[in-house]
Structure 1
């Protein structure tokens, strides 16, 4: 059913239209003809979303902010557990410092027949090295009858070398008329000696199966002991 207000609007519009036709001035009241509003139509369906627009231009970088204050130092963390023991490295050789060596020299006539002739204290750096010892001097034996012998040997802290063998030399005399005062030398390497201060000494004594005889060391010349530390041999 059409509302009364709508009917009134249509009636008024019709009268105005007829009046305009009679007066032959339809243009004068054209604005009044459409004075009544029509019935609201049904809302249309929403349109589709448009395509995404293009990205805008990149803006300028902002100003660098001020440096912040350093925070407080954190507390010390717990100590971690001990890692596994590493593999033992290979045995190294003596470094570039050179060979560790020492020389002890003296000049005296020593007529000791049995016992210590001279001692030389040496500081050994490493327990894995060997010591080379050389003793040089005039050495002789003499006896009233044929067949006498003297043995000169080296000791380390009072004991003879056992690695690999002793360092020694012997002088034998067959004729009682000879007095063989000649320069002689004995030398050798000794292994398995600990590091530290080592008392290296030259001593004289009896040969095996021979008794005491008249022995002489260092007659009228210089005697010497030379000690050198070398990498230990594995042969």
Structure 2
């Protein structure tokens, strides 16, 4: 059997070196702190600032934020019944004449019947042809469209006017001018 003295000696040999090592470690730590405290270099004055560097590259995009919350509920709207109108249809007519040389000075030149389908639309009219003015003295002539016997008022009358100065009195001449012309316009409302 191992005696008590041998055990005590064995324990002392095993535990004592650990206890001494711990004391040594603590002493070394204190020396490092003291070295840094007393043996570090003092800091001198700040140097001149350096120049600005080149801009860097764009970084990685951030993650999307948290979605916002729903707003408060709005007021209830009115119940409106929808009115479905008929689809818009083309409604056009072309009137043409071979010869309008009646030799008349006043009155209706030609007639063209047309039925508008809607009162909230406009009627587009166009005349393209020869207009004649003949006179010995200064004269003026006006050509215009009428609808059901009346001139258009919305937006404006559709008309064409020619004025001629007098002919040559010493030669007793007559001015007889033919002009290819166009008269065009829109007439709105009920016709």
Q: TM-score, normalised by structure 2?
A: 0.49
Q: TM-score, normalised by structure 1?
A: 0.41
Higher strand residue share: 1
Higher helix residue share: 2
Q: Which structure: larger Rg? A: 1
